[in-house]
Amino acid sequence: MRVDHIAIAVNSAEDALENYKKLLNVDKIEIEEVPNEMVKVVMINLQDTRIELLEPTSENSPISKFLKDRGEGIHHIAITADEIETDVNHALDKGIKFLGGLRTGSYGRKITFIHPKSLNGVLVELCQAPPQDDGQTLENKI
Ligand code: ZN
């Protein structure tokens, strides 16, 4: 397993990207709206992980609630799973609590979230790329 991305809740993805560009050598960015999560995602590809800037697209988005309660900051850490159903079942057997079921997130990946109470206050996303995805970014494959 490895860290797939670190997600940061932001008020404006464009403004946040400008900040991150001051530090990071950003040359690979992917932007996507995920309607069922009510977020706009700006993915900054780093050498061995990614930073995901999450901007809410609706008042009803969980990210809107997060920003209201806590302000901008780290929202979750995502870890890749090879066999997500197996990993979820093992974790359930050990008493880990999940938030909702498996669903489709950005870039067609299967994702689910683990309740922060199960992991010492950190919201963790488990994600698995679609079968045809070999882990490389879209740009690398084209
Ligand atoms: Zn994520």
Residue 111 and residue 139: Cα distance in Å, rounded?
22
Tell me, in angstroms, the distance from the centre of ligand 1 to residue 79's CA: 9
User: pTM for the complete prediction?
Assistant: 0.84
Supply the DSSP string of 72-109, one letter for each residue: SEEEEEEEE-SSHHHHHHHHHHTT--EEEEEEE-GGG-
Distances (CA, A) of 60 to 41, 47, 87, 103, 135: 16, 34, 30, 18, 32
Tell me, in angstroms, the distance from the centre of ligand 1 to residue 41's CA: 9
Q: What pLDDT, in 10s, does the model give residues 100-129?
A: 888 887 778 899 999 999 999 999 999 997
Identify the CATH number of the domain defined by range 2-141: 3.10.180.10
Confidence of residue 132 (pLDDT cuts 50, 70, 90): low
- What sign does the dihedral 88-92-96-97 (CA atoms) show? positive
Alpha helical stretches, state H, 9-76: 13-23, 62-70
DSSP state of 31: E
Tell me, in angstroms, the distance from the centre of ligand 1 to residue 22's CA: 23
Tell me, in angstroms, the distance from the centre of ligand 1 to residue 94's CA: 23
Tell me, in angstroms, the distance from the centre of ligand 1 to residue 51's CA: 9
Tell me, in angstroms, the distance from the centre of ligand 1 to residue 113's CA: 9
Tell me, in angstroms, the distance from the centre of ligand 1 to residue 39's CA: 11
The number of CA neighbours under 13 Å toward the Cβ of 87 is 17
Q: What pLDDT, in 10s, does the model give residues 5-60?
A: 999 999 999 999 999 999 988 878 899 998 888 999 999 999 889 999 999 999 99
5 in helix, strand or coil?
strand
pLDDT at 141: 44
